[in-house]
Amino acid sequence: LPWQAALGCRAAQVLMQYCILANHYWFLVEAVYLYKLLIGAVFSEKNYYRLYLYLGWGTPVVFVVPWMAAKYLKENADQGGVLGSVCPCPVSPSQINLLIFMRILKVILAKLRANQKGYADYKLRLAKATLTLIPLFGIHEVVFIFATDEQTTGILRYVKVFFTLFLNSFQGFLVAVLYCFANKEVKSEMKKKWQLWKLDH
């Protein structure tokens, strides 16, 4: 039935907007968590796990529900769907992440300079830290934050779509490789498990 198809499309659109915002707010959770480890860990031993869950999964609801209600009322009023498909979010997590990212880089640079004798290649280490933090914090989103779909045309639009889809699709994989599989502790644990498995078999 047509009304069922329309309802399914609206539900899919709402779910998509929620997932996009949740993805961005989990970037923010990762940034806040790392910032707390580097700077604020000495001030509090409190477990912020529940707060992180609320921020990552709950905050998108605060923006998606009013957007959904406004879109529904507007579409019923003029049958036009004027609000479009972009869910408005007054505070962009990517912009907050950029500020936290710059603060963390400042702390890392200060620590590397303090241990300059121990780390002669501190500039290389800073570059490595910068490149590994970019996918974790979703900083790549900031590049195209002002280039909306309406403003981008031609080749720039294709470039934006390609990089956005590519980086968003492989972000989880990049984070897993950089922060899990490339981690020395994780590799040593995996090596132990592999050796135990070989002994058992």
Share of the chain above pLDDT 70, in %: 75
**In terms of residue numbers, what domain contains 175?**
118-200
Instruction: Convert the pLDDT of each residue in 29-40 to its tens digit.
Output: 888 888 887 776
Span 89-96, average pLDDT: 70
Same domain membership, residue 67 and residue 23: yes
User: How many domains are contained in the chain?
Assistant: 2
Same domain membership, residue 126 and residue 76: no
Can you give the pLDDT at residue 58? Answer: 92
Same domain membership, residue 148 and residue 97: no
Same domain membership, residue 186 and residue 150: yes
Same domain membership, residue 112 and residue 99: yes
Same domain membership, residue 105 and residue 170: no
Last residue of a domain, one of 68, 101, 116: 116
Same domain membership, residue 153 and residue 94: no
Higher pLDDT, 40 or 50: 50
Q: What is the DSSP string of 112-179?
A: HHHTTTT-TTHHHHHHHHHHHHHHHHTTHHHHTSS--TTT--HHHHHHHHHHHHHHHHHHHHHHHIII
Same domain membership, residue 107 and residue 134: no
Instruction: Give yes or no for residue 94 having a pLDDT over 70.
Output: yes
Same domain membership, residue 136 and residue 75: no
Span 4-16, average pLDDT: 79
* Closest-CA residue to 136 (of 170, 87, 92): 170
Q: Cβ(98)–Cβ(142) under 8 Å?
A: yes
Same domain membership, residue 108 and residue 50: yes
Same domain membership, residue 124 and residue 104: no
Q: Which residue has the tokens 């907007």?
A: 17
Distance in angstroms (rounded) separating the CA atoms of residues 31 and 39: 12
Residue 110 sits in a domain whose CATH number is 1.20.1070.10
Same domain membership, residue 99 and residue 123: no
